[in-house]
């Protein structure tokens, strides 16, 4: 216990991110943007990336106006060249130190299994899975040199434990992320590195706004959600921030479901 700390000091020490350097991929929209903002509010130095230069410029301008330490680069982390550019720029911007990596980029191509093409499959693997695996490899030396760090995957409850109508390929990429953190947690624990997957249910983001506009589907979603609503991006971001904070220092290899009770609901 740290009874000698004031409440404010206790919150800052265990739940804040002051002095931490964080790399967040896909930080201009939805959950990614909410994570960037939450980290910045909590005192972290943040570096992010996006494929669209105008979206990135808008984010950086907003963050600068609020006095937050956020920088970024335009790049596609689904490609080796894009990942190389991000790592080089992030290292320079963050002083050669990366304490937290949030693998947030993701996409979906919603089709029945028999309709997927090889190109569909390759694209989703590259965006959702390969980018996260390769960037985790890339940040390992930084974290090991610093005595530790945290790798966080933005997964989905589509990755299990039950099936969802989000497509087989999307589900397999998210299930893979949930498995990867268990392997990383065991393999890299001796390097002081924790690995956690955060798995949201339907969240009000641009990725699913067209789906949430379907009143019949929305009613189906809400009927399977004990809390009776979809998540807001900041609700997911707060869990990500907790996972990155010292308060979660004994959590690793886990999938934290942010789903309003969806995964707990059977025939009830």
Catalytic residues: 170
List beta partners, residue 194: 150
Element (H, E) at 151: strand 149-154
List beta partners, residue 149: 193
Tokens at 40, concatenated: 């910045």
Residue 155 and residue 197 in contact, taking contact as beta carbons nearer than 8 Å: yes
Taking the C-alpha atoms of residue 117 and residue 59, their distance in angstroms, rounded to an integer, is 34
Residue 162 and residue 263 in contact, taking contact as beta carbons nearer than 8 Å: yes
Q: In what order do the strands lie in the sheet with 70-74?
A: 70-74, 45-50, 21-25, 100-103, 149-154, 193-200, 254-258
Dihedral of the alpha carbons of 136, 104, 156, 190, in degrees to the nearest 10: 30
Residue 49 and residue 72 in contact, taking contact as beta carbons nearer than 8 Å: yes
Torsion angles phi and psi, residue 22, rounded to 5 = -130, 135
Residue 44 and residue 150 in contact, taking contact as beta carbons nearer than 8 Å: no
List beta partners, residue 74: 50
């Amino acid at each position: 216990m740290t009874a000698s700390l004031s409440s404010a000091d206790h919150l800052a020490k265990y739940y804040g991110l002051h002095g931490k350097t964080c790399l967040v991929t896909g930080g201009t929209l939805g959950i990614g943007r909410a994570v960037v903002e939450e980290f910045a509010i909590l005192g972290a130095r943040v570096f992010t990336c996006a494929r669209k230069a105008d979206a990135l410029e808008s984010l950086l301008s907003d963050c600068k106006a609020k006095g937050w330490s956020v920088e970024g680069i335009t790049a596609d982390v689904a490609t080796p060249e894009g990942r190389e550019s991000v790592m080089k720029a992030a290292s320079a911007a963050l002083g050669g130190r990366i304490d937290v990596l949030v693998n947030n980029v993701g996409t979906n191509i919603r089709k029945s299994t028999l309709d997927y093409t090889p190109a569909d499959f390759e694209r989703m693997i590259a965006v959702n899975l390969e980018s996260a695996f390769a960037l985790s490899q890339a940040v390992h030396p930084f974290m090991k040199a610093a005595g530790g760090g945290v790798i966080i995957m933005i997964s989905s409850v589509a990755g299990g434990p039950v099936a969802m109508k989000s497509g087989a390929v999307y589900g397999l990429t998210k299930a893979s992320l949930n498995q990867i953190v268990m392997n990383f947690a065991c393999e890299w624990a001796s390097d002081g590195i924790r690995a956690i997957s955060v798995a949201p249910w339907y969240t009000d983001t641009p990725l699913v706004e067209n789906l949430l506009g379907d009143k019949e589907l929305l009613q189906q979603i809400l009927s399977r959600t004990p809390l009776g609503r979809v998540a807001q991006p900041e609700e997911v971001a707060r869990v990500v921030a907790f996972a990155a904070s010292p308060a979660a220092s004994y959590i690793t290899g886990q999938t934290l479901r942010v789903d309003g009770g969806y995964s707990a609901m059977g025939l009830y």
